[in-house]
């Protein structure tokens, strides 16, 4: 059985990197993959080979969600490539939603 965890130092480095400089991507993940369109932001709290846990800021408080990856990550390089791919796809989804008339 393959361990789904990255070594603690690698996980911490990836999380700090994402939280420190990629807040737009994190918000896109939350909206597009977490289906939480009213989110005001969030941050990654855990990341393993199967997915990531995020604490999400919502108008009514904070919620923890899990977003699964579409495959089991092989290594840190695969994690980087996957997060970039997910960000690009999520950005497209979010931007297409913004172009639609607001129903509210």
> What is the mean pLDDT for each group of 10 consecutive residues in the chain (104 residues)?
85 97 97 96 98 97 98 97 98 89 53
Place of tokens 């980087």: 80
pLDDT of residue 41: 96
Angstrom distance (rounded) from CA 1 to CA 88: 31
pLDDT of residue 3: 83
Angstrom distance (rounded) from CA 55 to CA 58: 10
Q: Please tell me whether the overall predicted TM-score, pTM, comes out greater than 0.85 for this model.
A: yes
Give the class (CATH, top level) of 8-98: alpha beta
SS3 69: coil
């Amino acid at each position: 059985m393959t361990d789904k965890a990255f070594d603690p130092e690698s996980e911490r480095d990836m999380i700090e990197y994402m939280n420190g400089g990629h807040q737009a991507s994190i918000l896109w993940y939350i909206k597009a993959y977490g289906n939480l369109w009213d989110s005001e932001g969030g941050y990654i709290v855990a990341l393993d080979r199967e997915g990531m846990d995020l604490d999400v800021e919502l108008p009514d408080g904070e919620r923890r969600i899990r977003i699964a990856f579409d495959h089991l990550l092989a290594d840190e390089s695969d994690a980087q490539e996957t997060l970039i791919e997910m960000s690009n796809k999520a950005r497209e989804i979010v931007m297409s939603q913004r172009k639609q008339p607001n129903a509210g």
